[in-house]
Amino acid sequence: MEPIADHIFLIPGAKGGRFPFSHSILVLDRVRVLIDTGCGLDTLTRIQEQYTPDMVLLTHAHPDHCSGTAVFPPSRVWTPGESRESTGRLERMADRFVSRALREEWMEFMRSSIGFRDFAPENSYSGGDRFDLGSLSLVPVHAPGHADDHYCFYFPEAAVMVTTDIDFTRFGPWYANDEGDIDLFLESIEHIRSHPMDAAVSSHEGVVRESIQERFERFASAFGEREERLIAFLERPRDLDAIIDEAIIYGSFPVRPRILRFWERQMIEKHLARLETTGRVKRTDAGFVRIR
C-alpha cells in the first residue's frame, strides 16, 4: 500500500493500473472504506481477509472500476444512484456501453481479461451526500462527461481528491459511449480542479502531488488537440470509415479491433458534431471536410 495521507492508502492495480484494471483506494479510519474494485481479484481477496471493509464505494459502473465487487458482501457495496439498476449486471452494462453487434464479444472480454462476475449492490449514493468516516469525511462529487454515473471523491480534511477517470494519462479523456459528452467532461474537469487539494489520485496514474493544476490543464487540452488533428486530416472530404481507419485518437487497433474501432467511432462522431456546430467542418455527399 502507498500512503496518500493519514488513513488513506493507494492499492496499486494489476498492470500498473492500466485498463482493463484500475487502482483502488483503502481508507483505514473508524469506518473502513474501499473505493473501486478494479485492482485485481487476488489483491481484493487479501483486502477482504485482512481489513474487511465496512463500505465498498464504486465511482461508476465501468468494469475496470468494479470488476471485483463480487468478493464483498452486497450489503456493504455502494454504487451511484444514477446507475443502481444496471451496475453489477454485465448484460445490462453491455446495453449501456457497446452496440448490440459487440455485446457478446465485450462481455467475453470483460469476463476473460478481468474475471468479471455479476454482483448486486444494496446501497447507493448521490452528489451532496457526505460520509463520516471518523477522522475523515468523504464527499462524492458528480463529474459526468466520461459517463452519466461518474463520480470523484473528495476528502476535505486531507485535501485529497480521487479524480477517478479524470485520470491524467497520456491517452487522455475517454468518452466512447452514448453517455460520453465532451462539453460535460470539460465542465467536470473545471469543477473538480476548483477544490483545494494537496494530492490528486488518478484511477490509472496513481498519486499526483506536483503540478496538479497543470495536469488538469494538460488533460483537458487533449480535446482540442484531437479536434485539430481531425481538422488537419479533413483537408479533403473523408467518409466516416476513412476517418476511423486513420485512428486519430487510438493511434492503432492492436487488440480487440472491433471494440477499439467502435470506441474510436463514438469519440470521433462527438468531435465531428462539435466541429459542425462551430462551423469548422461540414458534411458533404463525399464525406466530411474542413471549412477553409
Note whether 204 and 273 are same-domain residues. Answer: no
275 part of a folded domain: yes
183 part of a folded domain: yes
Domain end marker among 219, 247, 270: 219
CATH label of the domain that carries residue 32: 3.60.15.10
229 part of a folded domain: no
Note whether 191 and 273 are same-domain residues. Answer: no
Band (pLDDT 50/70/90 cuts) for residue 238 is very high
| CA diameter of the chain | 64
Q: Which of 50, 46, 66, 48 is nearest to 58 (CA)?
A: 66
Note whether 245 and 195 are same-domain residues. Answer: no
User: What pLDDT, on a 0 to 100 scale, did the predictor assign at position 34?
Assistant: 98
Average pLDDT over residues 28-44: 97
227 part of a folded domain: no
224 part of a folded domain: no
Residue 85 has pLDDT above 90, yes or no: no
Pairing mode, if any, of strands 32-35 and 55-57?
Answer: parallel
What gap in Å lies between CA 152 and CA 200, rounded to an integer?
A: 10
225 part of a folded domain: no
Note whether 203 and 73 are same-domain residues. Answer: yes
Task: State the alpha helices, DSSP H only, in the chain.
Answer: 41-50, 63-66, 90-97, 103-114, 182-193, 212-233, 240-246, 257-277
263 part of a folded domain: yes
Note whether 187 and 256 are same-domain residues. Answer: no
In terms of residue numbers, what domain contains 238? Answer: 234-290
Note whether 179 and 261 are same-domain residues. Answer: no
Could you give the count of Cα atoms lying within 13 Å of 226 in the half-sphere of its Cβ?
30
Note whether 245 and 214 are same-domain residues. Answer: no
Domain end marker among 219, 246, 277: 219
What gap in Å lies between CA 2 and CA 43, rounded to an integer?
A: 14
Band (pLDDT 50/70/90 cuts) for residue 15 is very high
| Tally of structural domains, the chain | 2
User: What pLDDT, on a 0 to 100 scale, did the predictor assign at position 18?
Assistant: 95
The single-letter DSSP state of residue 82 is G
Note whether 35 and 152 are same-domain residues. Answer: yes
226 part of a folded domain: no
What are the pLDDT digits (tens) for 177-232? 999 999 999 999 999 999 999 999 999 999 999 999 999 999 999 999 999 999 99
Note whether 90 and 117 are same-domain residues. Answer: yes
Residues of the chain with pLDDT > 90, as a percent, come to 98
What gap in Å lies between CA 67 and CA 119, rounded to an integer?
A: 9
- CA terminus-to-terminus distance, the chain: 54
Tell me the whole-structure pTM to 2 decimals. Answer: 0.94
User: What pLDDT, on a 0 to 100 scale, did the predictor assign at position 271?
Assistant: 98
Q: Which of 28, 36, 29 is nearest to 202 (CA)?
A: 36
User: What pLDDT, on a 0 to 100 scale, did the predictor assign at position 274?
Assistant: 97
Q: Do the Cβ atoms of 219 and 204 come closer than 8 Å?
A: no
What gap in Å lies between CA 274 and CA 59, rounded to an integer?
A: 28
Q: What is the mean pLDDT of the chain?
A: 97
Note whether 200 and 284 are same-domain residues. Answer: no
Domain end marker among 196, 219, 242: 219
What gap in Å lies between CA 259 and CA 253, rounded to an integer?
A: 9
Note whether 205 and 243 are same-domain residues. Answer: no
Q: Do the Cβ atoms of 206 and 18 come closer than 8 Å?
A: no
Note whether 147 and 40 are same-domain residues. Answer: yes
Average pLDDT over residues 83-88: 90
What gap in Å lies between CA 173 and CA 127, rounded to an integer?
A: 22
